Amino acid sequence: MPKDELTQRLISFIRKRFLDGDPKNELDASTPLLEWGVLDSLNTAVLINFIRDDLGVTIPAQHISGRNFGCVNGISTLVAELSEAA
């Protein structure tokens, strides 16, 4: 899957699942998810399950970090790299 399509799927999931649809359309690929409180431990687990179940990419525990999950761009880059390596 192209990285831009992956980014849009992640944004769409986060908007629907964690932001009540993001009515003000504030979320974008560089939004600081941790700083805004969008991702906490539970939401991160839900997102990781979405990535595994819907996108077919398993994220190893050593890759779950603030650096990789700080914004959608970081997440999509990680998922794309893991997908290519598989």
Tell me what pLDDT residue 86 has.
Answer: 76
Per 3-state DSSP, the chain is made up of helix, strand and coil in percentages (nearest 5) of 60, 0, 40
Count structural domains, the chain: 1
d(CA 57, CA 4): 16
Tell me what pLDDT residue 21 has.
Answer: 87
Tell me what pLDDT residue 22 has.
Answer: 87
Confidence of residue 1 (pLDDT cuts 50, 70, 90): confident
What is the CATH number for 79? 1.10.1200.10
CA angle, 77 then 81 then 85, to 5°? 170
Q: What is the pLDDT of residues 30-85, one digit of tens each?
A: 999 999 999 999 999 999 999 999 999 999 999 999 999 999 999 999 999 999 98
Domain of 25 in residue numbering reads as 3-85
